[in-house]
């Protein structure tokens, strides 16, 4: 009996969950290389939910490597699965997400029921739809610097890697039926745990009529298959298939992968924990006579409060994330406890960046931290960055968004230095990396259309004219800002200044927006002003520059 997947990685004396998982793996005294696996069936647009499978394994692999173990991290593309439904969206190899009307959707619709690797790539750039999906996942891993070995199920079958496992399952078909019947109601006395591929139409079918293990063949009829709320029609062809010309049902295939690849640890989402994992464990122990790997359940992500879903189109890709975040910040997101549901909020991504910056400062002992927080930073931070470098510089994310309101790189650096966000002795590489955050924060402002998505007229003051009362009020407000106050206090003072000078409040706010943006509206003025460099704001409100 394997470990409880809900308990692996939980508790104990470890601050970092990956170390707790590594402890559980070491307790088994596995042969080396230790194999860490993830996997997914191609479907729609690869998104950060799919990436969970890679990153959870990555941290466990790194924890084991730190202890001197040789580790192999693999990721299986379950690409011999049949296409059951046409996705609503796809992504090209440049990560442009498109609707089916923009590609050869017929390549999918005409091929329902066939393996992903037998379906033409709708974009015409890869060998198959399955290869296209896997290429995107591989590129995702490369973008964040995670070295993963991708393994195609289709190739494992074609190379005969699955043949011994398939033969053993069919030899023990009665036992396989008894085990599977505990988890699926449709299993009857005629059930055969093998899905041949029709030689006539190419679809994966369930109509096995006879098994000849001496010949290593099965006879079949290509019959209709139920796929969710629709029926995939078979062609009626009667034929014979070898054990390579088809596949195991997934509940047998998953444990089969454990044996073929020698898997020691595999994380999986909570959807698998309730049905697939118990059946996989049962099949491994009572049909294949192998020990299942150390398991771990992780919670799903949500995106801005809604479930990630390729079918509904609520997705964000790794490439899109890296437009607004440094890779190390994104990798930090997966450092958090995998058993707690996490929301990836694009709108509030500045909070994630701030959290990462504090995490980084804890590693370099620049801020006080609890014993657990300090240990977590010590263990996980070197796995998050390419190389820990104490002289690195981080510009606060929202201030970087403010800097993004001007296009002049020299001015950005000058302002950041003036406000103390770039030290005088910062090396050139650190300055370059720090300012790279500006482009990402600017993209975030544009993507969310937030308070930073304005063009700040910093180079020269807009051509504006104010009456005497408004001019006097602006001078008063400038004096108040020069004293140094937070955004909420400045916001209140804007109202009070307008009242004291008998100026319409909306017109006074408009005056501020005209000075800063040459516009009559903008973000909450007081809060925004507090994020700008004080000298600039004071001089601008005094109409000096």
Q: Could you read off the pLDDT of 432-467 as tens digits, one per residue?
A: 999 999 999 999 999 999 989 999 998 889 999 999
Closest CA to 337 of 112, 56, 35: 56
Average pLDDT in the 268-291 region? 92
Closest CA to 164 of 241, 220, 248, 82: 248
CA 20 to chain centre: 23
Examine the pLDDT at 29 and tell me if it is beyond 70. yes
The token duo for 300 is: 């799903």
SS3 assignment, position 40: strand
Distance CA 384, CA 362 (A): 14
Other Cβ atoms closer than 10 A to 354: 15
* pTM for the predicted model, two decimal places: 0.92
Give the CA angle between residues 36, 40, 43 to the nearest 5°. 160
Question: Residue 199: is the preceding peptide bond cis (ω within 30°)?
Answer: no
Closest CA to 296 of 13, 138, 61: 61
How far are the Cα atoms of 70, 142, 385, 443, 476 from residue 18, in angstroms, in the given order?
A: 16, 21, 16, 33, 56
Select the highest-mean-pLDDT range: 223-232, 305-314, 423-432.
Answer: 423-432
Sign of CA dihedral 157, 159, 165, 171: positive
Give the CA angle between residues 423, 442, 517 to the nearest 5°. 95
SS3 assignment, position 421: coil
CB 63 within 8 A of CB 16: yes
Domain borders along the chain are: 318-448, 468-542
Average pLDDT in the 389-400 region? 96
Distance CA 23, CA 21 (A): 5
SS3 track for 380-431: HHHHHCCCCCCCCCCCCHHHHHHHCCCCCHHHHHHHHHHCCCCCCCCCHHHH
Specify the pLDDT at position 3: 80
> Which of the four pLDDT bands, split at 50, 70 and 90, describes residue 7?
confident
Distance CA 134, CA 136 (A): 5
> Which of the four pLDDT bands, split at 50, 70 and 90, describes residue 97?
confident
> Which of the four pLDDT bands, split at 50, 70 and 90, describes residue 274?
confident
Distance CA 442, CA 248 (A): 49
497-533 pLDDT, tens per residue? 999 999 999 999 999 999 999 999 988 999 999 988 8
54-77 pLDDT, tens per residue? 999 999 999 999 999 999 999 999
CB 324 within 8 A of CB 330: no
Question: If one looks up domain 468-542 in CATH, what number appears?
Answer: 1.10.10.350
Specify the pLDDT at position 102: 80
Specify the pLDDT at position 227: 82
Examine the pLDDT at 431 and tell me if it is beyond 90. yes
The token duo for 103 is: 């590609």
Q: Which stretch of DSSP H or E encloses residue 73?
A: strand 71-77
φ and ψ at residue 226, rounded to 5 degrees: -80, 130
Average pLDDT in the 405-429 region? 93
Same CATH fold, 468-542 and 318-448?
yes
Distance CA 260, CA 163 (A): 10
Give 41-57 as a DSSP string.
---SS--HHHHHHHHHH
Q: 94, exposed or middle or buried, with CB in 10 Å at 0-12, 13-18, 19+?
A: exposed
φ and ψ at residue 361, rounded to 5 degrees: -65, -30
Q: 483, exposed or middle or buried, with CB in 10 Å at 0-12, 13-18, 19+?
A: exposed
The token duo for 370 is: 């609890």
Specify the pLDDT at position 154: 97
How far are the Cα atoms of 83, 178, 220 from residue 207, in angstroms, in the given order?
A: 18, 19, 5
Question: Where is pLDDT greater, at 10 or 397?
Answer: 397
Closest CA to 24 of 50, 51, 54, 4: 4
Examine the pLDDT at 222 and tell me if it is beyond 70. yes
> Which of the four pLDDT bands, split at 50, 70 and 90, describes residue 259?
very high
Examine the pLDDT at 194 and tell me if it is beyond 80. yes
End-to-end CA distance of the chain: 74
Distance CA 64, CA 87 (A): 38
Specify the pLDDT at position 104: 77
- Domain 318-448, classified CATH 3.80.30.20, yes or no: no
> Which of the four pLDDT bands, split at 50, 70 and 90, describes residue 311?
low
Specify the pLDDT at position 130: 95
Distance CA 103, CA 89 (A): 10
Give the CA angle between residues 270, 319, 337 to the nearest 5°. 35
Distance CA 281, CA 273 (A): 11
Strand order in the sheet with 208-212: 208-212, 217-221, 238-242
Specify the pLDDT at position 1: 60
Asked which of 43-47, 379-383, 412-416, 424-428 is least confident by mean pLDDT, the reply is 43-47
Closest CA to 79 of 46, 139, 119, 109: 119
Provide the mean pLDDT of the chain.
94
Distance CA 239, CA 222 (A): 8
Alpha-carbon dihedral 142, 134, 274, 15, rounded to 10 degrees: 0
């Amino acid at each position: 009996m394997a470990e409880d997947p809900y308990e692996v990685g939980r508790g104990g004396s470890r601050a970092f969950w990956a170390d707790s998982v590594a402890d559980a793996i070491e307790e088994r005294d596995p042969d080396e290389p230790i194999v860490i696996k993830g996997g997914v069936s191609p479907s729609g647009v690869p998104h950060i939910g799919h990436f969970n499978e890679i990153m959870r394994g990555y941290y466990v692999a790194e924890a084991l490597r730190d202890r001197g173990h040789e580790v192999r991290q693999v990721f299986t593309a379950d690409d011999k699965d049949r296409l059951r439904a046409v996705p609503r969206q796809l992504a090209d190899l440049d990560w442009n997400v498109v609707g089916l009307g923009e590609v050869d959707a017929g390549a999918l619709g005409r091929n329902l029921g066939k393996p992903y690797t037998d379906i033409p790539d709708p974009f015409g750039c890869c060998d198959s739809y399955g290869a296209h999906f896997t290429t995107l996942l591989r590129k995702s891993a490369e973008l964040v610097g995670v070295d993963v070995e991708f393994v195609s199920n289709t190739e494992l079958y074609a190379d005969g890697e699955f043949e011994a496992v398939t033969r053993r399952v069919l030899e023990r078909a009665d036992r396989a039926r008894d085990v599977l019947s505990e988890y699926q109601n449709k299993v009857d006395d005629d059930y055969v745990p093998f899905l041949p591929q029709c030689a006539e139409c190419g679809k994966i079918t369930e109509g096995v009529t006879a098994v000849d293990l001496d010949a290593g063949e099965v006879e079949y009829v290509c019959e209709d298959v139920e796929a969710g709320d629709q029926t995939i029609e078979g062609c009626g062809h009667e034929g014979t298939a070898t054990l390579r010309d088809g596949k195991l049902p997934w509940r047998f295939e998953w444990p089969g992968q454990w044996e073929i690849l020698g898997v020691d640890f595999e994380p999986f989402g909570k959807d698998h924990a309730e049905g697939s994992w118990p059946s996989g464990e049962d099949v491994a122990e009572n049909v294949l006579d192998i020990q299942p790997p150390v398991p771990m359940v992780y919670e799903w992500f949500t995106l801005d409060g809604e479930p990630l879903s390729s079918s509904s189109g609520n997705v964000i890709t790794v490439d899109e994330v890296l437009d607004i975040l440094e890779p190390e910040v994104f990798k930090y997101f997966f450092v958090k406890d995998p058993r707690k549901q996490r929301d990836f909020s694009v709108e509030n991504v500045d909070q994630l960046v701030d959290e990462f910056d504090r995490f980084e400062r804890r590693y370099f002992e620049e801020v006080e931290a609890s014993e657990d927080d300090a240990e977590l930073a010590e263990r996980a931070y070197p796995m998050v960055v390419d190389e820990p470098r104490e002289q690195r510089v981080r510009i606060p994310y929202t201030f970087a968004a403010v800097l993004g309101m001007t296009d002049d790189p020299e001015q950005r650096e000058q302002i950041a230095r003036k406000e103390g966000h770039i030290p005088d002795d910062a090396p050139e590489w650190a300055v370059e990396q720090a300012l790279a955050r500006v482009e990402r924060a600017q993209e975030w402002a544009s993507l969310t259309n937030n308070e930073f998505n304005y063009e700040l007229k910093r180079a020269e003051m807009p051509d504006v004219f104010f009456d005497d009362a408004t001019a006097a009020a602006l001078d008063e407000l400038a004096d108040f800002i020069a004293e140094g106050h937070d955004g909420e206090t400045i916001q209140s003072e804007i109202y009070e200044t307008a009242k004291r000078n008998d100026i319409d409040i909306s017109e006074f706010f408009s005056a501020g927006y005209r000075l800063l943006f040459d516009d009559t509206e903008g973000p909450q003025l007081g809060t925004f002003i507090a994020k700008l460099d004080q000298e600039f704001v004071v001089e601008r409100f005094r109409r000096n520059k």
